[in-house]
Amino acid sequence: MRAPTLTVDLAAVAHNARVFAGVSPGFMAVVKADAFNHGAAEVARTALANGARRLGVTSIREAVRLRGQGIAAPVLSWMNPPNADYTEAIGLYVELAVSDLEQLHAIADAPRRAERVPGIHLFADTGMARDGAPPDRWAELCERARSLEKSGRVRIVGVMSHLAWAEDPAHPANEQAVRSFEAAVDVLHRAGATSVVRHLANSAGALGIPRTRFDTARIGAGLYGIDPSGRYGLRRAMTLAAPVVMVRDAEEGTPVGYGHTHRTRSRTRLALVPLGYADGVPRSAAGTAEVAVHGRRCPIVGTISMDQIVVDVGDLPVHAGDPVTVFGPGDEGEPTTADWARWCRTNEHEVMTGIGPRVERIIHARIPDTPAAFHDTARLAGASASFATTPDLKETGSRAQH
């Protein structure tokens, strides 16, 4: 092995998509944050080929990028300030979530070609005081949106909210959110918008709380194999690995790394691995994290540096160039992102999205209708900034643009 690599297995994403298509037909595949770092366009195509009918992202910029990559499916963008580039979004048929009046008016007033009526999803807060209109402003938002719809300035496509407690299906906040959502939908219906797509559930809601499913669900985490319940056979798609750079023999008591936070407990061998916190290996994992070398779990020792870690490989016959698996699907005993989340007291989402731009990403497809492999080497932070927005709503082929 020559360089740190993040490998994405789209067959796992396809499998997960089919699981969600079973509980939420035509679900919305959430490909925000570059599909949790799995490659937004590739995941979007895979999900759409396996039961998804819509895509969801956070910002307009992410939606525009999907259009530039030739993806024509409905895309919803749900978080933008009132001065966002709504003209561009509307021009590319990007649907927009609306949480307040200022956004609504910014969208309705955005200069655009007359025949393009912006599709909006009204977003109600049902108990997390985050995005969505608070209950006391909901009726006014619905009425204003409906009157703008009647004058042809917007089209109300959907009504949505988000669950704060979906990972604990029995938590009373879920039932409360369902009732609050139903009330919000009623208000919208009474304002005259009657054929809207209702979507409340995320992955955990769609799987574990049938009452939250409504017309569709927005599926992020589960597509990437995150399943806190462990009950649905979802598969993780990411493997992070790096080559050993160098191996040294160390006597008992050898201090390792910055601040000598570790001393070897016996004679051993130390392998140097070129990944650090700039690549998404959190510093907070020092002292607890392990990696897999030659199929065996070995501890990371000493502090985690920006660019490197030291692994105590014991008596394993390790050589420079041998692969070290930081995490993977877990099928061969290697750590998973769930292990890393536990070691770092965070969630798997943060581990997945934290992998840095220095790591080469290779996206493998082993499913029909998707090319054999996408090589994605231009993951520099600015790569998408130089992306030319030449929207073309035709499918333009299979290779990702950068």
Ligand X SMILES: *Cc1c(COP(=O)(O)O)cnc(C)c1O
Enumerate binding residues for ligand X (CB under 6 A): 30, 32, 78, 162, 202-204, 218-222
- How far are the Cα atoms of 140, 277, 312, 370 from residue 273, in angstroms, in the given order? 57, 12, 11, 33
Answer yes or no: 394 catalytic.
no
What's the rounded Cα separation, in Å, for the pair 377 and 358?
Answer: 9
Q: Tell me how far, at minimum, the Cβ of 28 lies from ligand X, in Å.
A: 8
Which CB, 53 or 402, lies closer to ligand X?
A: 53
Whether the Cβ atoms of residue 363 and residue 374 lie closer than 8 Å to each other? yes
What's the rounded Cα separation, in Å, for the pair 203 and 174?
Answer: 14
Which CB, 124 or 273, lies closer to ligand X?
A: 124
Which CB, 65 or 199, lies closer to ligand X?
A: 199
Q: Tell me how far, at minimum, the Cβ of 309 lies from ligand X, in Å.
A: 29
Q: Tell me how far, at minimum, the Cβ of 106 lies from ligand X, in Å.
A: 19
β 373-376/360-364 pair status: antiparallel
Which CB, 68 or 208, lies closer to ligand X?
A: 208
Which CB, 23 or 272, lies closer to ligand X?
A: 23
Q: Tell me how far, at minimum, the Cβ of 284 lies from ligand X, in Å.
A: 22
What's the rounded Cα separation, in Å, for the pair 214 and 124?
Answer: 15
From the candidates 32, 86, 224, 277, which is the catalytic residue? 32
What's the rounded Cα separation, in Å, for the pair 50 and 112?
Answer: 34
Which CB, 313 or 351, lies closer to ligand X?
A: 351
Nearest residue to 75 (alpha-carbon basis) of 32, 21, 15:
32
Q: Which two tokens stand for residue 243?
A: 């080559």
* Strand extents, DSSP E, 161-203: 197-199
Q: Tell me how far, at minimum, the Cβ of 78 lies from ligand X, in Å.
A: 5
Q: Which two tokens stand for residue 391?
A: 């929207």
Can you say how many angstroms the Cα of residue 331 is from the centroid of all Cα atoms in its chain?
22
From the candidates 224, 232, 258, 394, which is the catalytic residue? 258
Q: Tell me how far, at minimum, the Cβ of 131 lies from ligand X, in Å.
A: 6
Answer yes or no: 258 catalytic.
yes
Strand partners, 121: 97, 158
306 is in an annotated binding site: yes
Q: Which residues contact 241 (CB under 8 A, 6 or more apart)?
A: 1, 4, 5, 7, 323, 324, 325, 326, 328
What's the rounded Cα separation, in Å, for the pair 337 and 358?
Answer: 19
Q: Which two tokens stand for residue 213?
A: 């499913």
C-beta nearest to ligand X: residue: 220
DSSP code, position 381: T
* Strand extents, DSSP E, 58-114: 75-77, 94-98
Write out the binding residues for substrate.
130, 306
List residues with catalytic annotation.
Answer: 32, 258
Write out the binding residues.
130, 306
